[in-house]
Each structure stands twice: as C-alpha cells, then as structure tokens.
Amino acid sequence: MSEQQANNPLHGVSLEQIMNRLVEHYGWDELGKRINIKCFNSNPSIISSLKFLRKTDWARKKVESLYLTMKRSVE
C-alpha cells in the first residue's frame, strides 16, 4: 500500500458507507440543510444520492468533508 493511501482517512470507505453513516447521524433533513442539493431535499434516498454524487465531484467533496468532520467529532 502506498504511503499516500495509508494517510488517506477515506481509504477503504465506500461512498455508500459514507452516505449511510451521514444519514444515520444527521438524518435527511439536517443533511439537506448542511449540503443543499436536491437529492437530499426532495424525495431523498441513498440510491439517488449515490447516482448524483458519483457524477458530481463538487458535491462528493462536500459529502466527504462533512463525513470527516462528523467522524472527528464522534471519536
């Protein structure tokens, strides 16, 4: 394993796992307030969110950043 991956806190965590943890921790309403995107605010689901996030880099980066912030606050 490269040193870069060893230091990456997202290494080995899938986008689906990230979304499940965020929804479990914040719920859809709070998640939609923190990251204002339609797939979180209008008929939200993990599947629709994953489709959007896999195509939209800026939104994925916001989700990953929120996940890391949440993870630090829980630990």
Structural domains in the chain plus CATH codes: 14-74 (1.10.720.30)
Rg, the chain, Cα only: 13
pTM of the model: 0.88
The string of DSSP letters for 2-35 reads -HHHHT-TTTT--HHHHHHHHHHHHHHHHHHHHS
Predicted confidence (pLDDT) per residue in 14-73, tens digit: 999 999 999 999 999 999 999 999 999 999 999 999 999 999 999 999 999 999 999 988
